[in-house]
Amino acid sequence: MTFTGANVSPASLDFSPHVTVIHGPSDTGKSFVVDAIDFVLGAKELKEIPERDGYSRVLLGLELPTGDRITFARSVDGGGVALYRSDVRTEPSGPPDEALSWKHSASSTANISRFLLEQVGLDEKRVRKNAQNETHMLSFRDLMRLSLVGETDMQAEVAPGLSGNPVNKTKEVSVLKLLLQGEDDSALVAVASAQDQKRLRGARLEVVERMLGQLDAQLQDVAEPGELQKQIAKLNQSIDGYSATIGDIAEERSDILAERTRVQESGRAQQVEHSEALVLRARFNLLLKQYESDLARLGMIAEAGNLLGYFRRGICVFCGAEPANQHLNLSCEGNTTSFGSSVESEARKTQVLREDLLLTVESLNARISELHGSIADSRREVTKLQGRVEKLDLALSPQQGDFRDLLTKRSEIERQLGLYEQMNSLEAMIRKMADETDAEVATAVAGLSLTAVREFSSEISKRLTEWGYPDAGSVRYDRNEQDIVAGDQQRSAHGKGVRAILHAAFTVSLAQYCFDRELPHPGFIVLDSPLVTYRPPDQQLEGDEEPPESVVLAFYRDIQEHFDGQVIVMENTDPPEPLGSDAYDIAFTKQTGIGRYGFLPVGVAESSQDVLSLEAGD
């Protein structure tokens, strides 16, 4: 591999066809080498590091299964890949033999993915991508996950060979099945409407993840649910205290308002009675005047009758009959006529009525006077009660303000808890969708041969035994979990050091499994930091700075003696013993003037001194 630029000397690195170990301190470019290999072979972009300035292209030479040597050249800024059918180690002067797209295409062979797949006999192979038997044309990028493992993936909890994206899990398991069994899924017949279901699930997942992102942004500075629960409990306690105090005042105010209403209603009734009494008294006064008028009229009649002798015995003043011929009322012993008696009787009767009326009017006047006083008392009482209500309102006002503040705060916390509940619901939806994906994965897993899985597990166990891994005999690949199980727990449950060494065992074993059975495989593997973080679980080390030497020693011996492909290892620690004659031992010192500083020179201006010397090789 060579980096070239217009004003800088090429920076090159040779890889052994068998074992290459690049070791040295951090920040010397080891992981950048892994990234550069991945980039030339079709990754989207190259990692940006300061030392890369001045370099414009990266060249990567390969030896094809036919023995021919080719060189890929690609701009460090991305884009297509130029193919030279020769070993090119400096900036090429002529046009490439072929121009390849960096991106896989099912409809064209002019891309690096199809070119490399054709070399290893996997071009046009198809792998299942869902339970509806839809298939996906294999891309070389699908294989890279199984042959090139960066430091982050090496230690990640995600199972080897999987990206962690549930949508791609079926396809990734199918790719592993293709390598283990050499059979693709091109014979599968797709089920109708599966694409719609896939699209719908993808859209649902996208929408739910977007909603989760929005909720997460809203909860950026919000306390955790447990803390919010504690806050709302304290608020409820304060609100209950305020409610008791305000409740007493409110109850007293309510009682006063009820009393005021009662007094007002009583006053209105008295007012009505008072008005009716006044009207009645006016009518009685008219009647009294009528009685007095009648008495005056009857007195005048009596007086006139006496003067005219109407009320004495003699010749009748009306018919002239003599007393002897008159029909007298013998029972009357008075000396007046019946008419005079009638007048007197009427006068007495009227007088009695007048006296009764006078008594009634007197009683009515007393009632009117009493009502007048009661009405005035009622008005004064209403005014007094209203004053008490206003005083209570003044006392209640500030406490109501604090009470409202507490209610507002509680409402805000309840809203935040609601957001957390929404997040939980959305995460449950994602898990449900993942379960749907798991059903698809289960379909793909069912296609994995138990024999192939058992033999692959045996290869992993054998490899770990060689490395001195504890209880390596019980380590196996679990078909259903799609992960390595060691010590009765999945790889993901172990610490990062164990995860790294198990991931390395998976990758080395998969390649060797394919070589032994003449199954297609890219032929090379790249491992970034498989050992540096590993510590045996039951072994006390004098210091935890270095992995156990016995394991490191066994690892390097095994890949040199028992691995048939090309392996490139990046490690922080030096190999405990010299490597074999066909292995390349490349040390980065991170010290100027002492050996090789790193993959790229520290300063490109010092070009004459920073030309990378190639390691011993061809």
Q: What is the pLDDT of residues 390-411, one digit of tens each?
A: 888 887 777 777 878 888 888 8
Return the pLDDT at 296: 92
Q: What mean pLDDT is predicted for residues 145-149?
A: 95
> What confidence category does residue 617 fall into, taking pLDDT thresholds of 50, 70 and 90?
very low
Say whether pLDDT at 89 is over 70: yes
pLDDT of residue 608: 38
- Backbone φ and ψ of 152, nearest 5°: -65, -50
pLDDT of 578 > 50? The answer is yes
Question: Between 193 and 200, whose confidence is greater?
Answer: 200
Question: Residue 38's pLDDT band (boundaries 50, 70, 90)?
Answer: very high
Q: Answer whether residue 162 shows pLDDT above 50.
A: yes
> What average pLDDT does the chain have?
86
pLDDT at 590: 86
Q: H helices of 182-224, where?
A: 194-218
pLDDT value of position 312: 66
Q: What is the pLDDT of residue 604?
A: 44
**Quick one: which of 586, 590, 591, 562 has its CA closest to 575?**
586
The mean-pLDDT minimum among 277-281, 301-305, 345-349, 414-418 falls in: 301-305
Q: What percent of the chain has pLDDT over 90?
A: 52
pLDDT at 618 over 50: no
Which class for 415: exposed (0-12), middle (13-18), buried (19 or more C-beta within 10 A)? exposed
Q: DSSP class of residue 312? A: S
Give how far Cα 68 sits from Cα of 62, 65, 121, Å: 8, 7, 16
Closest among 612, 615, 611, 603 to 52, alpha carbons compared:
603
pLDDT at residue 489 above 70?
A: yes
Question: Measured in Å, how far apart are the chain's first and last C-alpha atoms?
Answer: 14
Token code pair at residue 167: 């949508």
* Residue 610 binned pLDDT confidence (cut-offs 50, 70, 90): very low
